[in-house]
Structure 1
Amino acid sequence: MLDRLDVPVIAAPMAGGASTPALVAAVTEAGGFGFLPAGYLSVEAVAALLTETAALTAKPFGLNLFVPGSRSTTDLHGYRDRVRDATGVEPGEPRWDDDAYAAKVELAIAMRVPVVSFTFGLPEAGDVRRLHAAKSAVVVTVTTPAEAVQAARVGADALCVQGGEAGGHRGTFVDDGVSPGGGELYGVLAALRLVQARVDLPLIAAGGLVHGADVAAVITGGAVAAQLGTAFLNCPEAGTSSAHREALAAGARRTALTRAFSGRPARGLVNRFLTDHSAAAPAAYPQVHHLTKPVRATGDPELMSLWAGQTYPLGRSLPAAEVVRRLEAEARQAISGAARRFPPR
């Protein structure tokens, strides 16, 4: 399905409110494809989002699930005290949970979601078979060739290859707790080529793609589609907060990878919280996510997670359908321009 889109552009699932039914429907209706995020939401809330989106478009769309990792045993008392002292905000309880993962898989099967994608790890092979029985295609987010091989073995229909330029959370299966990206960190083109050499599956490229020329680059590099998140953050259909929109529009901040907000590597705009706490942040997801929730909820741009890809200053404040149209036109122009560089001999 994802290799037969009218426009090979996919709206990434952005958990936390940015991805909305209106955004998914607008991109889908414009010829692309959109994913809803299930992360951090109750099963009932996810069901409501699926129903609302289906009322806005008759075309297929997808749902993304967070695969739960192992429970960290890291002592978080010190980080909790540090956050409280620095912000004056009482942190949340640093609890571990599995994000109602099994129930969300059941929901996706029951509602026969056309495409179900997985981030942070592998679905069980049995769940993949059950999704296939429900006529759902399965996509797994990977960041390395080794992860791609594992995903192919469980029966994934396609892979989303995430480069280190991407905004938001790294899709790394296991965070090594040491390196900034949680493991090997490849740019999207390098990751795409390396994964292509190891598996024979349709590949979706993600990471720092905001312009049609970026779409053209990954398509000519072997991807069947480009997945974009940051490019849609300033669309009116997105649920992006006003503080986040303002920071993106200013274009003045650099981006960096951090565990400070969630305990998992993620790329965002550099602010005071990221600067002050990245070095001390433990690799403990989702405990740190719950711990920092009250801090992020203040709405202070210096305390919020302002997720964004490296090329965010090139983003546009336009309706989603217009963004898709411009991406298509720019991609066609880029491909035509490249062809002229290789005239017939």
Structure 2
Amino acid sequence: MGTRRLLVRRLRELLVLAALATAALAWAYDGIHRHPEEVRDRTAPAVLEVAAARSALMSAHLAAERYLDSGLADGTGTDEEYRIQITAAVQNLSQIADRQVAGEDGRRTLSTVNALLAVYQEAVGQAVEHADGLTALSGAWFLRAEDVLYRKETGILFRLQELQQAQRGRLAEQTVFTGGRWTPWALAGAALLVLAAALTVTQYQLHRRFPQRLNPWLLTVCALLLASALPAWWAWQTQVRLDEARGELAAVIAVQQRAVADDKAGRELTARQMATLVDRTAVARERVRRGMGATSGRTGRAVLIPAGGAVAAVLSWAGLQRHLVQYRFRP
């Protein structure tokens, strides 16, 4: 094959491979870094708001039960702690409506929960109203409220748990490094290896046909290939943060599920237990916010990948073009 024809062929190969490697690496990098912001701003808050709403409702019910058992209920109004917790639950549900990521099913679940919450509040109000003298009727109303809150499959807490599971499914899609995310990285790695092999072959052929031991332009492209390990390192760091965020949220939900299980088993929940759950939710919220915020710098570095690809293409062109314009070519 003539030297000029060989050079043109090699130049085309290097440019095409550089473009493919750049596109694959950018795709793989974006596959991880497009999620932290959504996790921070929508998914994690949605999961935590559901957890906070469930905690507030359980605390409210506990406060109402203690208020009725204390004998202080005189029919004039509910306990202050109960009112505080119900208000918090309503605010949490409002926040969920703005942030929930479970789609149309999530919106329907929230609508049902809000309707059931109104029924629950009415039942508690009736229980308190009849507490002064009509203890049997008061107890019946309180059992009605408890049923609305805890009933399996149709109660408020169960519906919120279903919503939480749907949101956790979305969280898993955003944070778990599944097989689908391996594909772009495998393609990027393969493209970079093929490009490295093409550069090596081109260097060898140039060495044989021209009085030049090594082409500095192509050597610089090789250095850029080594630098492509940096995006992989940055992506790994971001994935670690995503895994940590998922773990924080899972820990909150686990604590909450234990509290619900204790309540169902008849073991009395204490105010301290509920406060611990609230505190754990707040800690998880802050840790997720900080963890996802720490990835913003790496997300901004995505522009370096196409920039590096463009530089590699220009250097490849410069490294071969100087030979293409020479007057004579070695056969």
Q: TM-score, normalised by structure 1?
A: 0.23
More strand by share: 1
The structure showing larger relative contact order (alpha-carbon pairs under 8 Å, at least 6 residues apart) is 2
Q: TM-score, normalised by structure 2?
A: 0.24
More helix by share: 2
